[in-house]
Amino acid sequence: MSVTHQARVLELDSQIELLERLQLLTQFTSNFVTVSGASGAGKTWLAQRFLETWAQDKNQALLMCHPNQTDEQRRTTILTQLLSEPLFNPADSLVESFTRNMEHEACDIVIVVDDAHLLNESLLSELWLLLMQAQHYNRWRMNIVLFTRVASLDALFRRLSHGQDIKPIELEIESLSSQEAERFLEQLVMRYVEDDMERRVRNAYRTVARRPGEIMALLDQKVEKKIVIRSIIGSPINIALVVLLLFTMIGGGYWWMMGQPTPDETAQQITGEIEQTVIPTLEQPQTNSAAETSINSESAEQQSGALDPSFIGAEDDSTALPPEVVEKPESVGVIDDDSQRVVITSEVVDALLENEAQQADITEIEQFVDDTRQPVEADSASPAKPVIGFSFAKDELNDFSPRSYTLQLAAVNSLAEVQNFLDRYDLNNKVMVYPTLRDGVEWFIITYQNYPTIQVARDAVGGLPEPIQRLGPWAKSLNQVQREIARSN
C-alpha cells in the first residue's frame, strides 16, 4: 500500500507482533517464511519496515515484483544486492550463481520478496532450492520471506516440501481491530482531510474493510470525486430528470434522421436536375408552302436513303451542342507526384512556342536543379557519431558520505554507450558517471542521486520513469563506489 513517511513510525500492536515473530524466525536459523494477506493488508509496508528496523544486522535483498519483469531481471536484482562484486550470468539459476560466488564465504542474509504471487514457479523453485543448499553449508544462514496474497502459493510449496524435513512457515496478516482502525484513521487520514470533506470521509469509512490500504484509499482524489457525484445525483428527482433528458436527446436525433431524404430520393432529385439542364433542340422552322416541304423531303430521301419519318425535315444543329469532355487533359511536363518538380516560367514556354528557345534564359531552371540535388547528396552522407556531452563525477561522488547510498542504473564499456544510454532515457545532466576497472577491463558506471539510507534509495526506485524501472536499478553503497573510483586511479 502507498503510505506517507509518517506511516512508517505508526506501528500498531498487531503489526508489531507480526514483525517480532519474523525477527525471531530469522534470527538464529534458516527458514522459508510466507506472509499472506488480502489486498490492502499492508504487505508492502511490512516488508520494508522489517528490513529497515527488524533485520538491520543482516545482508539484505528486497525484490518488488512487477508483472512486466523477466526472471533474468529478478535474479539480477537479488544477486547485485547480496554480492559486493557480483560475477554471474542472469540466465543461470540462483543456486548456481550464489554458490559460485559464496561457496567458501560465511553469510547471514535475508531475501524479502513483495508480491511474490507474481513470480513464476521456476523462480520460486530456485528460491526453495537456495534454502536447501544453505542446509549443507554450516557457515551460511539464509532466510527467505515472501509476502503474497492469501493462500496463493500453498499448493506449490506443498509439492516442493513433500518428503522433506523442512517445511515453509506460514504467517497471516489479520485485519485491524476496531480500536487500531480508528487510530489509523485519525492519525493518517483525517488530519489531511479538508474540513468540508470530513463528514463525507467518515461516512465512507463505515463501508470500507478494516485494512490499512482500504482506509488510506479514502485520501485518494478519485474517492472524493465519487462522493461528490453521488451527492449531486443521489436524489430520485435528479435521476429522473437525467433519464428524461437522455430520452429527449435520443428522440430528437431519431426524428432528425427520419427527416433526411433516402439515398434513392436524393438520386432521383439529382437526375431531375440534370434532365432540366439538357440543351433543348432547335424548333424546325415552318415552311409557307407545301411545295417547299415536298422538295425538302425528296432531297433528303435522295441523300440519306429511306429515313425514319420522324427525322424528315430535321436540320443539323451539332454546332449548338457543347464541346466534348476530355477525360485525360493534355499537359506539358507531367511527372509523378513522388519525384522532384521543375517549374518552367512563362517566358521560357513562350520562347519555345515561337521557336526561340535558344534565346530564352534557362539559368533559373539550372539553379533549381542544383538546389534539388544538394539535399539528396546531404542525405547520402554517413551518420555522425554521438557527441560526448557528459563528464565524470569522481570528485562529487568522493565528497559524499561513505555511509550514504546511490542507485546504479547501468554499467557499460565505452563512452559512446554511456552517451547513447543518456540520450535514450533523457538523463543528460541528471546522473553521475565514473570509470572503474574490473579484471583489467574498463567499465563506466551510471548512478543516480544520493540517499542517506539504503531504504530511502530503494523507495526512490518507485519514483523513476517506468522504462528505467524495468532496468532493475539497485541501491549501492557509496563506500563501494569510492573504492571502485580509487581502483581506476
Between 299-313, 402-416, 453-467, the lowest mean confidence (pLDDT) is in 299-313
Instruction: Kindly state the average pLDDT of the residues 436-444.
Output: 89
pLDDT tens for 5-35 read 444 457 788 889 999 999 999 988 889 999 9
pLDDT at site 143: 93
Give how far the C-alpha of residue 426 lies from the chain's centroid of Cα atoms, to the nearest Å.
16
Is residue 376 scored above 60 in pLDDT? no
Q: Tell me whether residue 181 is exposed, middle or buried, using C-beta atoms within 10 angstroms of its C-beta: 0 to 12, 13 to 18, 19 or more.
A: buried
Instruction: Kindly state the average pLDDT of the residues 378-403.
Output: 77
Residue 65's pLDDT band (boundaries 50, 70, 90)?
Answer: very high
pLDDT tens for 130-182 read 988 888 888 899 999 999 987 777 788 888 888 777 888 989 998 899 898 88
Can you give the chain as a three-state secondary structure string? Answer: CCCCHHHHHCCCHHHHHHHHHHHHHHHCCCCEEEEECCCCCCHHHHHHHHHHHHCCCCEEEEEECCCCCCHHHHHHHHHHHHCCCCCCCCCCCHHHHHHHHHCCCCEEEEEEEECHHHCCHHHHHHHHHHHHHHCCCCCEEEEEEEEECCCCCHHHHHHHCCCCCCCCEEEECCCCCHHHHHHHHHHHCHHHCCHHHHHHHHHHHCCCCCCHHHHHHHHCHHHHHHHHHHHHHCCHHHHHHHHHHHHHHHHHHHHHHHHCCCHHHHHHHHHHHHHHCCCCCCCCCCCCCHHHHHHHHHHHHHHHCCCCHHHCCCCCCHHHCCCCCCCCCCCCCCCCCCCCCCCCCHHHHHHHHCCCHHHCCCHHHHHHHHHHHHHHHHHCCCCCCCCCCCCECHHHHHHCCCCCEEEEEEEECCHHHHHHHHHHCCCCCCCEEEEEEECCEEEEEEEEEEECCHHHHHHHHCCCCHHHHCCCCEEEEHHHHHHHHHHHC
Between 131-135, 286-290, 478-482, the lowest mean confidence (pLDDT) is in 286-290
Q: What is the pTM of this model?
A: 0.46
Contacts of 313 (CB under 8 A, 6+ apart): 284, 293, 296, 297, 300
Instruction: Kindly state the average pLDDT of the residues 365-372.
Output: 51
Residue 271's pLDDT band (boundaries 50, 70, 90)?
Answer: low
Contacts of 253 (CB under 8 A, 6+ apart): none
pLDDT at site 269: 64
User: 390, 422 in Cβ contact below 8 A?
Assistant: yes
